Amino acid sequence: MIVPLEHIIILAAVLFGLGLVCTLVWRTNVIMLLIGIEIMLNAAMLVFVGGSARWGMPDGQVFALMIMAMTSAEVSLALALVVYLHRRRNSVDVDEFRELKD
C-alpha cells in the first residue's frame, strides 16, 4: 500500500464531483453528458481498486473489470441512441428530447 486509502478516496471523490458537474453543466450536448458519466464510473473503479489494494483482496479488481465491461456496453448503446436521435432531430441537446413527459 503506497498511499493511505483516504487519499485514494479523496481523489476518487474529486473525480466523481467533476464528473457530476460535467453531467449537470453540459446540457446542450449529450456526448459531454456521457463523458461525465464515464468520469464518475472511473472514480468508482478507483475506489474499488483502492479497496482491493488496501485489504489485499482481488474482488475489488473483479468489480472494476465488470464496471468496465458494463461501461463499454452502456457507451455503445448510448452512442447508438445518440446517433439515432441525431438522425431524427438533428440535435444533440438533451432538452430537445422530451418524449419522457408523456
Partner 1 sequence: MEAYLFYILAVVTVIGTVMAITEQHPVHAIVYLVTSFFSLAMIFFLLSAPLIAMFEVIIYAGAVMVLFMFVIMMLDLGRPSEASRPFLRRWALPMLLGGIILVSIVTVAVNHISSPDTSRMISINDFSVVLFRKYGVAIEIISMQLLFAVVGALYLGRKRDDR
Partner 2 sequence: MKLYLELIILFPLSGAIVNLLLGGRLLPRRASEILACAAIWGSFVATVAAATAYSAPMTVEITSWLAAFDLKAPISLYLDPLSLSLCLMITFVCGLIHTYAVGYMKDDPSPVRFFALLNLFVAAMLTLVLAGNLPLLYLGWEGVGFCSYALIGFWYRDPQNATAGRKAFIVTRIGDIGLGIAIVWLFQLCGTVSIQQLNQMGANIPPGVITALGLLMLLGAMGKSAQVPLMVWLPDAMAGPTPVSAQIHAATMVTAGVYLLMRMFPLIGSSASLCAAIAVTGALTAFYGATCALAQRDLKRILAYSTISQIGYMMLGVGSGAISAATFHLLVHAFFKALLFLGAGCVITALHHEQDIFRMGGLRRSLPWTFWPFLGGALCLAGLPLTGGFFSKDGILAAVWLKGGALYGGLYFAGLLTAFITAVYTMRMVLIVFEGEEIPLNPPLSKGEVKSLPRVMEWTLLPLALLGIFGGLLNLPEFLGGGVLNSFLSHPGSQELQLSHSSELLLQGVAAVVALAGMATAWLRYGGLRRQLRLTEAELPARGLSAFLLEGWRVDALYDLLFVRTYIRLSGFLWQQLDEGCIDDSLDRIAAQLGRWGQRLGGWGEGRVSLSLLSMAAGAALIIVWLTWVTI
Residue from 37, 92, 94, 97 binding partner 1 (CB under 8 A): 92
* C-alpha 81: how far from chain center: 17
Residue from 24, 65, 69, 80 binding partner 2 (CB under 8 A): 24
Q: How far is the CB of 57 from partner 2 (least distance, A)?
A: 24
Question: Buried b vs exposed e over 47-63: b needs ≥16 C-beta within 10 Å?
Answer: bbbbbbbeeeeeebeeb
| Residue 101 binds partner 2, judged by CB under 8 A | yes
| Residue 95 binds partner 2, judged by CB under 8 A | yes
Binding mask 16-35 for partner 1 (x = CB under 8 A): xxxxxxxxxxx-xx-xx-xx
Between 10 and 96, name the residue whose CB sits nearer to partner 1.
10
| Residue 84 binds partner 1, judged by CB under 8 A | yes
